[in-house]
């Protein structure tokens, strides 16, 4: 789950805690979302993409497709 996001985080050498802080998401909430234990809300996806300076649809291709339907 969220392989594209994880690849981008590795590429930029950003840890989950750092990304959570940059995205203004509670770190434990982001950890849970990455494990599939909590939804990855659309506003979280947008803020994460902004923090990584990457397009939302590239980081979350499956979520963007499901929202379009």
Distance CA 61, CA 17 (A): 22
Q: In the chain, how long is the greatest CA-to-CA distance?
A: 33
69: confidence class by pLDDT, cuts 50, 70, 90: very low
CATH code (residue 55): 1.10.260.40
DSSP state of 37: S
Q: Of 18, 11, 20, nearest to 58 (Cα)? A: 11
Q: Where in the sequence is the domain holding 21, given as residue range(s)?
A: 3-68
**Quick one: pLDDT at residue 7?**
96
- pLDDT per position as a tens digit, 28-65: 999 999 999 999 999 999 999 999 999 999 999 987 55
Under the banding of pLDDT at 50, 70 and 90, the label for residue 67 is low
As for how many domains the chain has, the answer is: 1
Whole-number mean pLDDT of the chain?
Answer: 91
């Amino acid at each position: 789950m969220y392989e594209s996001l994880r690849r981008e985080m590795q590429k930029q050498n950003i840890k989950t805690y750092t990304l959570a802080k940059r995205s203004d998401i509670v770190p434990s909430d982001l950890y849970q979302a990455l494990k599939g234990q909590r939804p990855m809300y659309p506003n979280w996806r947008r803020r994460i993409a902004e923090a990584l300076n990457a397009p939302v649809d590239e980081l979350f291709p499956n979520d963007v497709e499901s929202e379009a339907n």
